[in-house]
Structure 1
């Protein structure tokens, strides 16, 4: 059972600590335990309840009414909201609860409903990517258990691999261009890489997929021995802007004169200075447009 401070609850749920304290006193929504020095602390059940309460409150339910709901009624109301594919924030919050509960069924239900309503690509971009960015920030801040992040990431990875396998069964090349997908050393988060490799295959391009943590020297050998027309990579692991720009420069030196598609949380957050060799990927539509010109 994990232990959270009130600041942890604030970071994960987005509800101010002051508001949580008021809800505790006035409505008894959660009852924290206390240390020997009288400091509040919370467990996984408290966090899941606060997340569910937050979902309902953000969607027009009054706190006084929420406080009267049983645990079962609270979950039913949240589930009803999750079935609304237009309510992106609710679905992201619901995935957070599924991650905390290690509940594969809940995760699958939320994602499947979204895919039915929005389509696979749109669901990944509008729900899964923002969700992964959020838990990545929380993980780096130490407010969620790494095992929970691994659990949910692997579920998403499985979904993408199944989608890629299905695509390959009917794959018909529409181009002789080869795109090399890889992650630099110490980069392990493959979800964005898998998703965009799927997009490239759907567009009829040949994909060479190397996966995570590829040393620069190994990458250089591949480029020198195989016909490569472009590369695709991502930077998610925490680093300073200076470190990121050094890594990008090192990559440019190893594989000069090749267009490199670039994405990831660190590219978005740090906004590094990029040479003309790099092409930022902002969306699937943007990527489709850019690969047409390689």
Structure 2
């Protein structure tokens, strides 16, 4: 059973520690448990209740009224807010809550509600990625565990695959083709799946090869499936080999393609003097690059060296 300190609860719910103590004293609301050394701590059911309290309070409910509700009434109010209110704070709270519960049904319902109201692309940009940023901070501060990250990754991956599968394949001869891949030891599958979705939605022909691809593997792929652009993400702060060395080897194996590089390493290195290499920054820069390419252009992309 997970145990949370008052600092953990503050990070996870956004409720300040002094506010938690005040609510406990004034309203007998979610009374902290005490260790044998008289240190406050909370269990998972306490955290779930505090999430509900935080969501209701941020949406205009007075704390005295919230305290008078039963846990079931609070949960029902939050469920109604989560389905109707698309404010960023409400969505992040609801997703965080369902993650701690590992409630796939609730997590999926929140995303599906946003997708119906915003569309899939905006939901990814305005809801999912801010939530992943928050989850990363919580993970590194020890407030959530690797299994929570795994749960979230699986839920989002399913949504990405389903949304992409509903799109027609990109077969336009007037648009450049893309091959997406991840190098060895690079973990950015969700972003690559989203980029595949963005390309497919704009009618761009795209082939996604997955992860742990070596330059030689890419060479074999390019022989079988010639492509205008190779696309990858290098986000790790540490790489086992120099980035320039990896790029040159990829270009040597794929002499007729251009190489588009995104992620932390793309911004860290000056690649302007490398032929056939295009560096783009974060996801919004990638999106702008994709939108620019979705306009019909000359197919002989790689000739512009």
Which category describes the TM-score, using the shorter chain as reference length?
Answer: 0.7 to 0.9
**Residue-by-residue CA offset, 1:52-79 (whole Å, 9 max, x unaligned):** 2111111222212211111111112112
- Counterparts of residues 112-261 of structure 1 (less than 5 Å): 112-168=112-168, 171-175=170-174, 177-215=176-214, 218-219=217-218, 222=221, 226-235=225-234, 240=237, 243=238, 248-256=243-251, 258-261=258-261
- Counterparts of residues 51-66 of structure 1 (less than 5 Å): 51-66=51-66
Q: Does 1:109 align with 2:109?
A: yes
Root mean square deviation of aligned Cα: 2.8
SS of aligned partner of 1:183? coil
Contact persistence 2:233–2:262 (CA under 8 A)? yes
What is the total number of aligned residue pairs between the two structures? 285
Q: Does 1:96 align with 2:96?
A: yes
Look up the match of 1:81. 81
2: distance between equivalents of 1:162 and 1:34?
46
Q: Structure 1 residues 73, 12: closer, same or farther in 2, change over 3 A?
A: same
Q: Structure 1 residues 31, 189: closer, same or farther in 2, change over 3 A?
A: farther
2: distance between equivalents of 1:51 and 1:78?
9
- Counterparts of residues 17-32 of structure 1 (less than 5 Å): 17-32=17-32
Q: Which runs of 5+ in 2 are unaligned?
A: 252-256, 273-277
**Residue-by-residue CA offset, 1:215-255 (whole Å, 9 max, x unaligned):** 4554465457752322333355xx54xx3697644443333
Look up the match of 2:293. 291
Contact persistence 2:185–2:212 (CA under 8 A)? yes
Q: Structure 1 residues 271, 93: closer, same or farther in 2, change over 3 A?
A: farther
Q: Give the C-alpha shift of residue 101 in structure 1.
A: 1.1
Look up the match of 2:3. 3
2: distance between equivalents of 1:117 and 1:280?
28
SS of aligned partner of 1:184? coil
**Residue-by-residue CA offset, 1:139-188 (whole Å, 9 max, x unaligned):** 222211221221122011111111222214x6543545221222233333
> Looking at CA atoms only, which structure, 1 or 2, has the larger radius of gyration?
2
Q: Which runs of 5+ in 1 are unaligned?
A: none
Contact persistence 2:82–2:91 (CA under 8 A)? yes
Higher mean displacement: 212-221 or 196-205: 212-221
Contact persistence 1:262–1:279 (CA under 8 A)? yes
Contact persistence 2:176–2:293 (CA under 8 A)? no
